[in-house]
Amino acid sequence: EYILAIETSCDETAVAIVQNGTELVANVVASQIDSHKRFGGVVPEIASRHHVEQITIVIEEALKQAEMTMDDVDAVAVTEGPGLVGALLIGVNAAKALAFAHQKPLIGVHHIAGHIYANRLEEEFQFPLLSLVVSGGHTELILMKEHGSFEVIGETRDDAAGEAYDKVARTLHLPYPGGPQIDQLAHQGEVSIDFPRAWLEEGSFDFSFSGLKSSVINTLHNAKQKGITHKPEDVAASFQASVVDVLATKTYKAAKQYNVKQVIVAGGVAANKGLRTKLTKQFANEAITLLIPPLALCTDNAAMIGAAASIAYQQGHRAGWDLNGNPSLTLERYAKRSK
C-alpha cells in the first residue's frame, strides 16, 4: 500500500510517501531552523506560521517527487502527538482535509513510534527488539515484542539527551541546534575533563542528564573565576564522552538482559557520530544486530511516520474525522489504542 504521511510536530514541515512501510517513494522536509536560530530555540508561533505557509507546497512536492496523484494513495497518515500543539494542528487539519476530499482512510501516528520505525525503511524488524530513543524531547529504552507494542523499560528523569546537548551548546555560545555543533567540536578535542555519569540505582535503565549539564556550566564558571580557560573542543569532547558512555552502556546491559535480537537507535541524537561509533563497537562481536538510520532519517521527517502508519494500517487502525493534535500523547496509550 502507498501511504502519504505528514509530520509537523516541531520545526520541520515534512511529507513523505512510503510503500508497504519499507520503501521510501518520496521524502520532502522543509526545515525552519534558520527562522528559529536567532532566538536560540524553536518559537512555537513562528513554527505554526511556517507550517501553514509550507504544508500545501510540501504535499504537492512529495506527490510530484513520487510521480503520483492522490488517486494512487491508499491512506493519509499524520503525527497526532506529542509535540507543539499549534504545530501539530496544522498537520492534522491538512491530513484530515486531504483524506476527506479524496475519500481515503486517515491514520494518527505517535511521533516517537515514527522515530523508531524510521529503521524499518532500512531493515526488517526482528523481535524482541530494543530501541534506544534519543531526541530533543525524549530519552527512552523501549522493548518491542511485536509490531505496534512498546514497553518503556527506562526513561530520563529530567532532561532529554538532545536537550542536554542544546543547553550545553548554548553555554558554549554555539548556534541552535547545538547537537551537531558539539558533535563536530568533540572530534577536534580531548576528553580532558572528568564529567559525572549518572548511573542511578543498580539495575535501573533510567537516565538523568541535568547533573551533567549543571556540572558543565559550573566547571566553565569556576574556570573563568580562576582565570583558567578550557578549550571548547575539550569541553565538547568530555561532555560527549559522558553522554555516550551512559547511553551505550545502559543500552548494552538492557539488550543482554532482555535477550533481544536487534537494537535500533532512533531520534535526532542517533545522528551523533560518537554514539554511532561506540554502539557499533559494542555490538560488533554480539549476535545482536544494530540498526541506526541514515542521518536524514534521524531528525524529524515524514518517512518515519509513513513507516509506522503502515503497521497501524495493516492492523486496521483508522482515525475518525474528530482526530485532534495531542501534545502529550504517551506511547503506552498509543500502543493500547492501536491494538
- Subset of 191-250 contacting ligand ATP (CB under 6 A): none
DSSP string, 60-124: HHHHHHHT--GGG--EEEEEEESS-HHHHHHHHHHHHHHHHHTT--EEEEEHHHHHHHGGGGTS-
Residue 74, marked binder: no
Q: Which residue number, 135 or 338, has a Cβ lying nearer to Fe ion?
A: 135
Q: Which residue number, 63 or 305, has a Cβ lying nearer to ligand ATP?
A: 305
**What number of other Cβ atoms are within 10 A of residue 215's Cβ?**
18
Q: Which residue number, 83 or 91, has a Cβ lying nearer to ligand ATP?
A: 83
Give the full edge-to-edge strand order of the sheet including 129-134: 151-155, 139-144, 129-134, 262-266, 289-291
- The angle at the Cα of 62, spanning 56 to 65, to the nearest 5 degrees, equals 140
CA–CA distance from 10 to each of 41, 79, 90, 101, 241 (Å)?
11, 10, 11, 26, 28
CB of 10 vs Mg ion, minimal distance in Å: 4
C-beta separation of 306 from 77 below 8 A:
yes
Binding mask 108-147 for ligand ATP (x = CB under 6 A): ---x---x-------------------xxxx---------
Among Fe ion, ligand ATP, Mg ion, none, residue 154 binds (CB under 5-8 Å by kind): none
CB of 319 vs ligand ATP, minimal distance in Å: 20
CB of 79 vs Fe ion, minimal distance in Å: 9
The interface region with ligand ATP, picked from 32-40, 45-53, 151-159, 177-185 by CB under 6 A, is 177-185
CB of 138 vs Fe ion, minimal distance in Å: 8
- Biggest CA–CA distance in the chain, Å, is 68
Residue 73, marked binder: no
Q: Per CB under 5 A, does 206 bind Mg ion?
A: no
Residue 158, marked binder: no
The dihedral sign for the CA sequence 4, 269, 111, 118: positive
Cα separation, 200 vs 227, in Å, equals: 34
Cα separation, 256 vs 250, in Å, equals: 10
Nearest-CA neighbor of 162 among 150, 145, 176? Answer: 176
Q: Which residue number, 137 or 154, has a Cβ lying nearer to ligand ATP?
A: 137
Cα separation, 40 vs 20, in Å, equals: 39
Residue 108, marked binder: no
Q: Per CB under 5 A, does 300 bind Fe ion?
A: yes
Q: Per CB under 5 A, does 10 bind Mg ion?
A: yes
The interface region with Mg ion, picked from 2-10, 79-87, 157-165, 306-314 by CB under 5 A, is 2-10
- Phi/psi for 241 (5° steps) reads -60, -40
CA atoms within 13 Å, Cβ hemisphere of 23 = 6
Q: Which residue number, 2 or 165, has a Cβ lying nearer to Fe ion?
A: 165
Q: Per CB under 6 A, does 179 bind ligand ATP?
A: yes
Cα separation, 337 vs 333, in Å, equals: 6
What residues line the site for Mg ion (CB under 5 A)? 10, 300
What residues line the site for Fe ion (CB under 5 A)? 135, 300
Residues of each annotated binding site for substrate: 133-137, 166, 179, 183, 272
What residues line the site for ligand ATP (CB under 6 A)? 10, 83, 111, 115, 135-138, 162, 165-166, 177-180, 183, 267-269, 271-272, 299-300
